[in-house]
């Protein structure tokens, strides 16, 4: 069965011819009228041809019109199955009728023929047209591509080889060649997306390896098959479009790439919209440009308040969008409908009301609520409030709550109940963003606000606070200065205002509690320390009797005008001058507590009495404030002189003062300075007096030193002095040494450990409070009973006992420091009895007169316990 080729068929393959240099001036002829060769070497069918077998062969002749040379070659065309792409697994076939399999062999190079002039070609080169190989071929492999022959193969044995990428360079052995026959093969399926072309070089050598022909370039192109689907750059595209947009408004662009050849239908991608969700208000709200992927609106009616987002499925198909043969892929386009300000804000009520106390600021008096259907928290939704009438003085402002979008009517300037009891405001609301074109404001965007003002008790105030009055200083006590009264702003309340003094540093003023009249309680003195810049300042309090009471303060400033009430004082008070005149002088001036014009210029003069003053001294005027005091006589004995000087100011009337200046007159050196001896002499002390003073100082220091030495020695003796009591007369030592007292048989039942000489401090540390020896330094904590007087160190033991007895009598919390403490137990058979029996006989029934026979040391005990005669 034959094959039919139409007239538009073009045979793609290695059948494009060219000579060794240029194709210009080459003319081709064939011996088959069904096929012709174009000037670029492409073979085409001139008419619909019925090929009886699987191949056809014909001769092609090429004429070089310039070189007058001719070449010819045999072309064999094979008719094969229609090519398949990688999509053959899905059963898709390429049905193009104009693509034929390339020939299996071409005899190359052209055999050189003799031209009509009998000339022969001197140099021959191989010229092989490009070889086209379809990708994804099923084989069988190896598959012949072309046969290379040299026209010298009839004379000698030739070996063929190929080099280049795909032959002897990676990827290796994609192509190989039969070295004897020159047939070149492809060994495996090709992939154009992996490599689209190969450049090889063919070599012809003899059996000895000598080059027979120059190497020939072989260009192998891999023919594309539709084996790749379009791939979107992003699987999900995000775009936006304003609500209310007109048809044709651009939204976004989606892009898909196809790895196949973009110059063929295999790589030409076309787009279309598959689905749209939701399908409201129309199922076709958008369209897409099939070639560019631009998505635009196609219908009106986008409304964000109804549909905020559209999901569109986009399909990309190659083969120029042919759904039957092309490969497809999909992506998702999410289109957000953006908000525009097409809904004006509207108040939820036509009127609002609020209440505010007077004199309060930053108080929210009313909340205005609005409704806006635009996107929340956007400029199209955010409300802006303004007062258009009812508040000419600017007492209120409206702030927007950023969360709720409510309007907060706030007091920014205090309101006065006595001035305005209520406000009627007209407010308007708008958005931060202007309304969209064609949208008008709603009548509900305006509302009224009624604000009532409540009365509160306001403090009285002084209309002229920091009031300033002027008067002369020295006004007498009880003078009425002014009436400093306050005003109660509560005109609708019948309240009384009372005044009191809050601050009066010098306590000069008094204020009437009912009418605020201020009078003086002392003479006002401008020169007082409480005056600053001639102004005295006092503060007064005005309080009403409202509920709750309120008070206000006022400050009164009194500017005191100076009068000449202070006489000038001479300066300096002391000076020195040489005993001879014309060596130096004393500059004198005056100080006056008053101010101009009650101060200088001053008049300095010497009194006429005593006469010696003017005889010895003279005053020379320098200017209105200074004068010079100097000696009038040639010599004045060294010493200290009191010079009286009368200073008079320029006040009206003028005041004068006689001041004394102490002048030391002394001998001077050549520079006019007092010498040291002269200064002493001027002080009025002679040499003998100075020596006497020094001797007195030395004696005084010696006495102090002797007293200190004596005190240190006495202190040392006190620490080293032994007990003044004779050891033989010391009852405690006797008892401790003998360790017993004798007595009857029952006298052995006592504990003498308390009477022993202490060898350690344990018994002292454990001794009960109030029991200690008077000649021991306490080791433990002092007892808490009253402190006894320090016992002196008498020479007589009797005085010692008397002092201890008096201390015991005055201490009710402890027993006396005598033998009663030491002899706490003496046995039961003693004639004298025991101390415990003495303690138990507090009523004095027993007779203790026998103690008098023991000596003077026990006579006090007899008197204390027995009531005997006093010693």
Q: How does pLDDT run across 669-721, given as a tens digit for each residue?
A: 777 677 765 555 555 555 566 788 889 999 999 999 999 999 888 888 777 65
Residue 526 tokens, joined: 């401008």
Q: What is the pLDDT of residue 866?
A: 60
Element (H, E) at 612: helix 611-616
Is the CB of residue 789 less than 8 Å from the CB of residue 807? yes
Residue 273 tokens, joined: 């919209």
C-alpha angle with apex 96: 93 to 97, nearest 5 degrees? 125
Q: Which residues pair with 270 in a beta bridge?
A: 317
The more confidently predicted of residues 321 and 107 is: 321
- Measured CA to CA, the distance from residue 116 to residue 156 in angstroms comes to 29
Q: What is the pLDDT of residue 472?
A: 85
Say which DSSP state 79 is in.
-
Cβ-proximal residues to 248 (8 Å cutoff; 6+ apart), any chain: 296, 297, 298
Residue of 340, 260, 335 whose CA lies nearest to 294? 335
Query: Per mean pLDDT, which of 82-91, 328-337, 656-665, 797-806 is the most reliable?
Result: 328-337
Tell whether the model's pLDDT for residue 346 goes beyond 60. yes
Q: What is the pLDDT of residue 624?
A: 83
- Measured CA to CA, the distance from residue 155 to residue 325 in angstroms comes to 53
Start-to-end C-alpha separation, the chain: 179
Tell whether the model's pLDDT for residue 174 goes beyond 70. yes
Tell whether the model's pLDDT for residue 580 goes beyond 50. yes
The more confidently predicted of residues 861 and 733 is: 861
Write b or e for each residue in 355-382: b if 16 or more Cβ atoms lie within 10 A of its Cβ, otherwise e: ebebeeeeeebbebebebebbeeeebbb
Is the CB of residue 524 less than 8 Å from the CB of residue 492? no
Which of 25-34, 367-376, 601-610, 775-784 has the weakest average pLDDT? 775-784
Over residues 130-156, mean pLDDT: 88
Over residues 613-634, mean pLDDT: 86
Q: What is the pLDDT of residue 67?
A: 65
Within 13 Å, how many C-alpha atoms sit on residue 842's CB side?
Answer: 1
The more confidently predicted of residues 338 and 487 is: 338
Q: What is the pLDDT of residue 613?
A: 86
Is the CB of residue 458 less than 8 Å from the CB of residue 487? no
Is the CB of residue 477 less than 8 Å from the CB of residue 520? yes
Which of 264-268, 517-521, 825-829 has the weakest average pLDDT? 825-829
Tell whether the model's pLDDT for residue 277 goes beyond 80. yes
* Percentage of residues of the chain with pLDDT beyond 70: 73
pLDDT digits over 426-435, tens only?
999 999 999 9
Tell whether the model's pLDDT for residue 367 goes beyond 70. yes
3-state secondary structure of 301: coil
Tell whether the model's pLDDT for residue 153 goes beyond 60. yes
Over residues 150-178, mean pLDDT: 91
Tell whether the model's pLDDT for residue 110 goes beyond 50. no
Cis geometry, peptide bond prior to residue 4 (ω within 30 degrees of 0): no
Say which DSSP state 426 is in.
E
Q: In a 10 Å sphere around its CB, with 0-12 CB exposed, 13-18 middle and 19+ buried, how is residue 453 labelled? A: buried
Tell whether the model's pLDDT for residue 113 goes beyond 50. no
Over residues 568-577, mean pLDDT: 88
The more confidently predicted of residues 775 and 76 is: 76
Average pLDDT, the chain: 78
- Measured CA to CA, the distance from residue 124 to residue 155 in angstroms comes to 16
Q: What is the pLDDT of residue 40?
A: 73
CA dihedral for 359, 362, 365, 368, sign (positive or negative): positive
* Residue 89 pLDDT grade (very low, low, confident, very high; cuts 50, 70, 90): very low
Tell whether the model's pLDDT for residue 456 goes beyond 80. yes
- Measured CA to CA, the distance from residue 814 to residue 367 in angstroms comes to 86
* Residue 295 pLDDT grade (very low, low, confident, very high; cuts 50, 70, 90): very high
Cβ-proximal residues to 128 (8 Å cutoff; 6+ apart), any chain: 14, 108, 146, 148, 202, 216, 217, 218, 219
Q: What is the pLDDT of residue 108?
A: 40
Over residues 152-164, mean pLDDT: 90
Tell me the C-alpha to C-alpha distance, in Å, between residue 224 and each of 133, 221, 257.
9, 9, 16
Q: In a 10 Å sphere around its CB, with 0-12 CB exposed, 13-18 middle and 19+ buried, how is residue 573 labelled? A: exposed
Which of 326-330, 382-386, 456-460, 503-507 has the weakest average pLDDT? 456-460
Within a 10 A sphere around the Cβ of 459, how many other Cβ atoms? Answer: 20
Tell whether the model's pLDDT for residue 836 goes beyond 50. no
Question: What is the pTM (predicted TM-score) of this model?
Answer: 0.45
- Measured CA to CA, the distance from residue 12 to residue 810 in angstroms comes to 148
Over residues 252-281, mean pLDDT: 93
* Residue 33 pLDDT grade (very low, low, confident, very high; cuts 50, 70, 90): confident
Q: What is the pLDDT of residue 24?
A: 54
Q: What is the pLDDT of residue 365?
A: 94
Write b or e for each residue in 710-721: b if 16 or more Cβ atoms lie within 10 A of its Cβ, otherwise e: eeeeeeeeeeee
Cβ-proximal residues to 375 (8 Å cutoff; 6+ apart), any chain: 304, 339, 381
Tell whether the model's pLDDT for residue 369 goes beyond 90. yes
The more confidently predicted of residues 797 and 497 is: 497
């Amino acid at each position: 069965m034959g094959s039919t080729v139409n007239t538009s068929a073009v045979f793609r393959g290695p059948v494009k011819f060219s000579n060794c240099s240029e194709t210009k001036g080459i003319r081709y002829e064939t011996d088959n009228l069904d096929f012709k060769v174009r000037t670029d070497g492409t073979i085409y069918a001139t008419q619909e041809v019925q090929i009886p077998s699987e191949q056809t062969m014909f001769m092609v002749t090429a004429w070089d019109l310039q070189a007058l040379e001719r070449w010819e070659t045999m072309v064999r065309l094979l008719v094969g199955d229609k090519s398949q792409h990688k999509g053959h697994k899905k059963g898709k076939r390429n049905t193009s009728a104009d693509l034929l399999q390339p020939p299996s062999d071409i005899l190359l190079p052209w055999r050189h023929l003799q031209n009509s002039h009998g000339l022969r070609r001197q140099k021959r080169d191989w010229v092989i047209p490009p070889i086209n190989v379809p990708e994804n071929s099923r084989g069988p492999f190896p598959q012949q591509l072309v046969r290379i022959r040299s026209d010298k193969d009839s004379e000698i044995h030739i070996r063929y080889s190929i080099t280049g990428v795909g032959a002897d360079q990676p990827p290796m052995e994609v192509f190989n060649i039969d070295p004897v026959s020159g047939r070149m093969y492809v060994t495996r399926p090709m992939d154009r997306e992996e490599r689209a072309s190969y450049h090889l070089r063919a070599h012809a050598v003899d059996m000895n390896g000598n080059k027979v022909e120059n190497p020939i370039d072989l260009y192998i192109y891999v023919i594309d098959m539709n084996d790749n689907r379009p791939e979107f750059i992003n699987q999900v595209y995000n775009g936006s479009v304003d609500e209310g947009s007109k048809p044709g408004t651009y939204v976004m662009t989606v892009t898909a790439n196809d790895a196949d050849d973009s110059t063929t239908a295999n790589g030409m991608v076309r787009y279309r919209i598959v689905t749209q969700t939701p399908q409201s208000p129309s199922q076709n709200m958008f369209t897409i440009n099939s070639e560019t992927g631009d998505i635009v609106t196609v219908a009106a009616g986008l409304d964000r308040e109804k549909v905020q987002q559209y999901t569109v499925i986009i399909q990309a198909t190659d083969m120029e969008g042919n759904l039957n043969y092309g490969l497809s892929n999909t992506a998702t386009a999410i289109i957000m409908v953006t908000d525009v300000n097409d809904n004006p804000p509207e108040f939820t009520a036509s009127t609002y009301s609020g209440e505010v106390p007077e004199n309060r600021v930053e108080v929210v008096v009313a909340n205005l609520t609005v409704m806006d259907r635009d996107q929340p928290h956007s400029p199209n939704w955010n409300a802006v409030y303004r007062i258009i009438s009812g508040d000419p003085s600017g007492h209120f402002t409206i702030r927007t709550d950023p969360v709720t979008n409510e309007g907060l009517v706030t007091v920014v300037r205090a309101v006065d109940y006595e001035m305005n009891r209520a406000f009627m405001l007209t407010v308007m609301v708008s958005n931060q963003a202007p309304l969209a074109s064609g949208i008008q404001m709603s009548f509900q965007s305006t509302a009224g606000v009624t604000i009532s003002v409540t009365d509160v008790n306001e403090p009285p105030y002084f209309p002229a606070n920091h009031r300033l009055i002027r008067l002369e200083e020295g006004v007498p006590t009880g003078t009425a200065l002014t009436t400093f009264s306050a005003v109660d702003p509560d005109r609708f309340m019948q309240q009384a205002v009372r005044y009191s003094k809050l601050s009066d540093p010098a306590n000069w003023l008094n204020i009437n509690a009912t009418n605020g009249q201020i009078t003086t309680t002392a003479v006002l003195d401008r020169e007082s320390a409480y005056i600053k810049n001639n102004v005295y300042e006092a503060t007064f309090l005005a309080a009403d009797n409202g509920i709750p009471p309120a008070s206000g303060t006022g400050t009164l400033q009194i500017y005191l005008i100076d009068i000449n009430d202070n006489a000038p004082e001479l300066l300096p008070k002391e000076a020195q001058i040489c005993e001879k005149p014309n060596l130096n002088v004393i500059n004198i001036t005056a100080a006056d507590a008053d101010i101009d014009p009650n101060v200088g210029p001053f008049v300095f003069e010497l009194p006429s009495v005593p006469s010696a003053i003017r005889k010895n001294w003279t005053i020379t005027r320098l200017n209105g404030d200074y004068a010079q005091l100097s000696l009038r006589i040639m010599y004045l004995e060294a010493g200290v002189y009191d010079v009286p000087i009368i200073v008079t100011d320029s006040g009206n009337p003028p005041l004068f003062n006689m001041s004394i200046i102490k002048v030391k007159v002394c001998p001077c050196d050549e520079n006019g300075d007092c010498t040291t001896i002269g200064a002493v002499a001027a002080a009025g002390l002679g040499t003998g007096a100075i020596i006497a003073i020094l001797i007195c100082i030395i004696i005084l220091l010696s006495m102090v030193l002797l007293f200190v030495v004596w005190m240190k020695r006495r202190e040392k003796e006190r620490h080293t002095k032994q007990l003044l009591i004779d050891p033989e007369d010391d009852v405690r030592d006797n008892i401790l040494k003998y360790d017993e007292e004798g007595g009857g048989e029952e006298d052995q039942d006592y504990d003498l450990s308390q009477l022993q000489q202490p060898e350690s401090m344990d018994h002292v540390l454990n001794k009960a409070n109030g029991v200690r020896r008077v000649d021991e330094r306490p080791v433990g904590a002092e007892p808490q009973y009253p402190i006894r007087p320090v016992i002196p160190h008498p020479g007589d033991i009797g005085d010692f006992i008397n002092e201890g007895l008096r201390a015991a009598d005055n201490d009710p919390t402890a027993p006396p420091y005598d033998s009663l403490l030491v002899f706490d137990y003496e046995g039961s058979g003693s004639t004298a009895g025991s101390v415990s029996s003495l303690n138990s006989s507090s009523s004095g029934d027993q007779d203790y007169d026998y103690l008098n026979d023991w000596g003077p040391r026990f006579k006090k005990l007899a008197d204390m316990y027995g009531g005997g005669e006093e010693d």
